[in-house]
Copies of this chain bind each other. A is one copy, B any other.
Amino acid sequence: MPKLWSETIEAHRRGVREAILDTTAALAAEYGLLSVTMSQIAEQTGIGRATLYKYFPDVESIVRAWHERQVGHHLHHLAEVRDRAREAGERLEAVLEAYALIHQRRGQHQRHHRHGAELATFVHRDEHVSQAEQQVLDMIQGLLAEASEAGDVRDDVPLEELARYCLHALAAASGLLSEAAARRLVEVVLAGLHPTVDSTDQQAAHDRDPQ
């Protein structure tokens, strides 16, 4: 039964890979990312160094894989939340709230570990946005486009810029101590997105005098 055997091997490999990611995240959270070595990771995972190198060439690539996995989980959760709501405005609000709560809970978790945030911040770079992060950005932009058609979103700023604004602003939830505070943050972010009397006035003024 060669097929079953290869499936078993595949499952085993996935299991080892997951264990490597979990071990690395735990070591980094406890001792700090800069002090984690490949030898430590192999030992704590319970595999040989040579085996570890068959999976990953260095600590940095493990950290990246860990991050991709995290964002993948979040993406899945956000898609579920999105698909539960019907109306465009509701969908946008529900996803933004879910995103804020992910950050709020992560922040809470990280405050319990001396080096808890290093892993996340190390890989969190605007210019090398991972594929999964780009998908989150695309999802938000899509929801903004829907809500925009319903007239719920200001039209004086490109949707891609508004999507970036949402993601960055909501990440402030990682420093908030309660879910209630995270929900207040969502209200503030949404207020920034709405077409405001102010912006309409400014737009009208700008149309009259394009100086």
Contact = CB atoms under 8 A, between A and B. Distances in A.
Interface of A: 32-34, 59-60, 107, 110-111, 116-118, 121-122, 124-129, 154, 156-158, 161-162, 164-165, 167-172, 174-176, 181, 184-185, 187-194, 196-199, 202
B127 A118 contact: no
Closest 3 CB pairs of A and B: A192-B192, A169-B169, A168-B172
Contact of A176 (B111, B154, B161, B197): B161
Contact of A34 (B59, B110, B157, B164): B59
Contacts of A189: 165, 169, 192
Nearest to A188: B192
A164 B157 contact: no
A121 to B, nearest CB: 5
Contacts of A164: 172, 175-176
Given A126-B174, A127-B110, A165 B185 contact: yes
Given A117-B127, A165-B172, 6 more contacts: A110-B125, A117-B128, A161-B184, A187-B202, A189-B192, A191-B198
Q: How many copies of this chain does the complex contain? A: 2
Contacts of A117: 125-128
A157 B188 contact: yes
Contacts of A197: 197
Contacts of A60: 32, 34
A176 B168 CA distance: 12
Given A184-B157, A191-B198, A127 B116 contact: yes
B157 A187 contact: yes
Given A34-B34, A168-B171, A127 B154 contact: no
Given A185-B161, A191-B191, A191-B194, A127 B111 contact: yes
